[in-house]
């Protein structure tokens, strides 16, 4: 568990302020709009930056007394992590493992296998695609089976199969550890894979609780239906959360208290629908 108390960290025009947050074991998705402070919070949790005031306690240990110990239990993948381009994938993981005091080659082999990196193990990172580099960046965060795993936008650059693989690995790992994943890809995560949602808005925590509570008592319901393209305009007051164009038809998922008409049927909300409802945003706000 990680407890933040009276935390503040700021830049010129942005301040992250957390009065009290008690992060629990399991998988938490960290969500919020661009600039909400997700990366700033992850970097704080990872001890890559330090709070200006307040304290953070990791399983009873404080930063003041136990920083090296806390770091030895930390796995962190910042967004845009720059790997050592001239190293091979295997050497990169080996090198980072040694920095963590891990000399067991077997652990590297397991990670290379789990992230489907075996066929690239002798390749220099600079010769690899973004997706493969991303897998290597995520793999390094798992080195040493950290108690606290922090991943910033891990699904970036990954194709759909790799996304599914990473999501299921993360969900499995979360059964025994504390993981916080910052993501914009809420629709990719299944309700049953995620324990909690942490929603940040403009540097403040707006929600931290279970998925069950995230989905409960939503003030709007979710409707799916198909309408001719020409009628889209008339729906623009509705809150469209998903739109797919199929010839002259638009397949729509929208958020409303009542069905707009009998072409729409009620469907189960996803984590993403709930995000749109809580935040009062939907894609219709953007077009
Ligand atoms: N080193 C820095 N110096 C100045 N401002 C910064 C710095 N790092 C972040 N910021 C600002 O802090 C705010 C929060 O940034 P942060 O990257 O934490 O947001 P985010 O929620 O992760 O956004 P995104 O979804 O776009 O990744 C932004 O306004 C950003 O410009």
Give the CA dihedral 211, 212, 214, 217, nearest 10 degrees.
170
Rounded to an integer, the average pLDDT of 255-262 is: 89
Extract the tokens encoding 64.
């003041």
Rounded to an integer, the average pLDDT of 74-97 is: 93
Tell me the pLDDT tens digit for each residue of 195-230: 999 999 999 999 999 999 999 988 889 999 999 988
Tell me the pLDDT tens digit for each residue of 140-196: 999 999 999 999 999 999 999 999 999 999 999 999 899 999 999 888 898 889 999
Rounded to an integer, the average pLDDT of 65-74 is: 94
Extract the tokens encoding 97.
């493992």
- CA of residue 43 to ligand 1 center, whole Å: 11
Q: Residue 287: what pLDDT?
A: 45
Q: Residue 238: what pLDDT?
A: 62
ipTM exceeding 0.90, yes/no: yes
Candidate from 100-109, 130-139, 205-214 with smallest mean pLDDT: 100-109
Tell me the pLDDT tens digit for each residue of 27-58: 999 999 999 999 999 999 999 999 999 999 99
Using CA atoms, how far apart are residues 197 and 186, in angstroms rounded to an integer? Answer: 10
Provide, rounded to the nearest whole percent, the portion of the chain with pLDDT above 90: 72
Q: Which residues line ligand 1 (CB under 6 A)?
A: 11-12, 14, 32, 34-40
- CA of residue 35 to ligand 1 center, whole Å: 5
Smallest CA separation from ligand 1 atom 2, residue? 11
Rounded to an integer, the average pLDDT of 119-132 is: 94
Mutation test residue for ligand 1: of 35, 152, 198, the one with most atoms within 8 Å of CB? 35
- CA of residue 64 to ligand 1 center, whole Å: 26
- CA of residue 235 to ligand 1 center, whole Å: 34
Smallest CA separation from ligand 1 atom 11, residue? 14
Work out which ligand 1 atom sits closest to the CA atom of 43.
18
Confidence check: pLDDT of 284 > 80: no
Could you tell me the pTM of the whole model?
A: 0.91
Mutation test residue for ligand 1: of 12, 38, 204, the one with most atoms within 8 Å of CB? 38
Using CA atoms, how far apart are residues 153 and 111, in angstroms rounded to an integer? Answer: 19
Mean pLDDT, the chain, rounded, equals 91
- CA of residue 257 to ligand 1 center, whole Å: 35
DSSP H helical ranges for the chain: 38-45, 63-72, 89-99, 105-114, 130-141, 160-173, 211-215, 271-279
Rounded to an integer, the average pLDDT of 72-84 is: 91
Extract the tokens encoding 42.
């992850």
Q: Residue 282: what pLDDT?
A: 66
Q: How many CB atoms lie within 10 A of CB 286?
A: 7
Smallest CA separation from ligand 1 atom 30, residue? 35
């Amino acid at each position: 568990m990680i407890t933040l108390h009276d935390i503040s960290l700021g830049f010129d025009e942005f301040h992250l302020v957390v009065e009290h947050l008690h992060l629990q074991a399991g998988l938490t998705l960290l969500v919020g709009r661009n600039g909400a402070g997700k990366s700033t919070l992850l970097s704080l949790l990872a001890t890559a930056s330090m709070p200006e005031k307040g304290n953070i306690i990791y399983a009873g240990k404080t930063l003041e007394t136990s920083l090296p110990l806390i770091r030895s239990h930390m796995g962190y993948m910042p967004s845009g992590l720059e790997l050592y381009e001239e190293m091979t994938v295997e050497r990169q993981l080996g090198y980072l493992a040694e920095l963590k005091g891990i000399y067991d080659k077997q652990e590297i082999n397991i990670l290379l296998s789990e992230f489907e990196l075996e066929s690239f193990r002798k390749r220099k990172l600079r010769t690899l695609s973004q997706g493969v580099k991303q897998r290597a960046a995520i793999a390094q965060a798992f080195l040493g089976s950290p108690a606290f795993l922090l991943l910033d936008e891990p699904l970036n650059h990954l194709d759909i199969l790799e996304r599914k693989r990473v999501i299921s690995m993360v969900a499995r790992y979360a059964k025994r550890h504390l993981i916080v994943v910052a993501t914009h890809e809420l629709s990719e995560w299944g309700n049953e894979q995620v324990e909690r949602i942490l929603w940040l808005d403009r540097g403040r925590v707006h929600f931290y609780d279970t998925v069950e509570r995230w989905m409960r008592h939503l003030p709007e319901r979710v409707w799916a239906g198909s309408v001719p393209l020409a009628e889209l305009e008339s729906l623009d007051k509705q809150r469209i959360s998903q739109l797919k164009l199929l010839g002259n038809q638009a397949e729509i998922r929208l958020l409303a208290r009542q069905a707009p008409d009998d072409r729409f049927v009620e469907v189960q909300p996803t984590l993403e629908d709930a995000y749109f409802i809580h935040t009062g945003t939907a894609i219709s706000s953007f077009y």
